[in-house]
Amino acid sequence: MAWRVLGLCLACLATPGVAELQSLFPRQGGATAAHAAPGSLFPGAEAGLFRAVVRRPAPAQVRGEARIDRLLALIARAEAGPADYDAVQHGARVPPPGPPTELTLRQIDAWIAATPGQPHAIGRYQFIPDTLRRLVRAEGLPPQTVFAPDVQDRLDMVLLQEAGLADFRAGTLPRAEFMHNLARIWAGLPLPDGRSYYDGHAGNRATMSWADFEGTMRQIWPEAG
């Protein structure tokens, strides 16, 4: 019996990863650094729910350009309202431990994990957990990164590129199609019928009319077709 116990103890010592598989941030430098707890914002290098990705080059269109800033403001108006970068989904019964712009990604991740069963959309662009995880992974942001305005804008720029911003600006993507792509990402933006693409799902609805959405887009890019 004693030999069996000794054998089990030796086996445990030989597998240090077992104790850390549920840790939010695996320790660096060891064999366990490749793993992250499922649902964490932060990926491992090779294994687990999230796989590391090669960081993409910076997009040609960046925040600070007047038209891009106006587009970001339009999305923010539909999604966050006056709370702007510190917005939290109104249905969250337990709020985060401070204003989003003062929290680290680690703190936001902990809040999400500690409050299951409630909405967690956060920030100026109302990132939901799955999207936030993916964008944090794509941009290679460490857990101590503060969810500051420039970080939120940076993450949102990835979504704009995915919606076809470069093609739209090049004139190869019609304005209506680009707007439809935007509405499929941000529930507060309407479709031509005035309803959200996610209307009724988890309480989502469009927060502006199609005429407002289209009119503002025409003001920003009057030459677009």
Q: pLDDT tens across 59-97, in order?
A: 444 556 899 999 999 999 999 999 999 999 988 999 999
Is residue 109 one of the residues assigned to a domain? yes
Mean pLDDT of the chain: 79
Is residue 54 one of the residues assigned to a domain? no
Domain tally, the chain: 1
Is residue 119 one of the residues assigned to a domain? yes
Identify the CATH number of the domain in which residue 89 sits: 1.10.530
Is residue 5 one of the residues assigned to a domain? no
Is residue 188 one of the residues assigned to a domain? yes
Is residue 53 one of the residues assigned to a domain? no
Taking the model in full, what pTM does it have?
Answer: 0.73
Is residue 74 one of the residues assigned to a domain? yes
Distance between CA atoms of residues 207 and 153, nearest Å: 21
What is the domain range of residue 181? 66-220
Is residue 34 one of the residues assigned to a domain? no
**Residue 80 buriedness (CB in 10 A; 0-12 / 13-18 / 19+):** buried
pLDDT value at position 82?
94
Mean of the pLDDT values across residues 117-145? 96
pLDDT value at position 171?
94
Distance of CA 114 to the CA centre of its chain: 18
What does DSSP assign to residue 103?
A: S
pLDDT surpasses 90 at 115: yes
